[in-house]
Amino acid sequence: MISLSSQYRTWHPQHGFTLLELLVVLLIIALLAGYVGPKMFDRLELAKVQSAKGQMKSLVDTLNQYRLDNGHYPSEALGLKALTERPASEPNWHGPYLPKGAPPDPWNNPYLFKNPGAAHEIEIISLGRDSQAGGEGTNADIVFGQ
């Protein structure tokens, strides 16, 4: 007669993965991450560029409100700070136009304000991902003017 314990061992094969199988799975995961990862980060950077453009448009709209109240845009010396703090030289100021101040760009750098701008009357500028003038791709400067 066969004992129950020996019968159990012969009918159920051993379960588990070999080291080689685990290494193959890890290799496949690493290859997928190497291919998909950079594409995802490029999408993230493009989303930041679009976010910066949206914020810049909002800042220009706010500057237009300032211009309606005061007859002109703030000077470059006053900059975007004129949207949150009343300049001494502005009797018709009806702010604050931005209660919390100008937001930083998506790379956490302050927007630059030019009056007059190079191609427009005023320009809001983000230096892009590298935070330096010039560059290409997502490192390029983003200029929004009115």
Helices (runs of H) and strands (runs of E) counted in the chain: 2, 3
**Fold classification of 44-145 (topology level):** Glycoprotein, Type 4 Pilin (3.30.700)
- Pair of tokens at residue 42: 């490029």
Share of the chain above pLDDT 70, in %: 90
pLDDT at 33: 82
Averaged over 66-80, what is the pLDDT?
92
> What DSSP character marks residue 55?
H
Q: What are the sequence ranges of the domains in the chain? A: 44-145
Pair 112, 127: CB distance under 8 Å: yes
> What does the radius of gyration of the chain's CA atoms come to, in whole angstroms?
30
0.75 surpassed by pTM: no
Mean pLDDT lowest among 11-20, 61-70, 100-109, 114-123: 11-20
Q: Does 116 sit behind a cis peptide bond, omega within 30 degrees of 0 on the bond before it?
A: yes
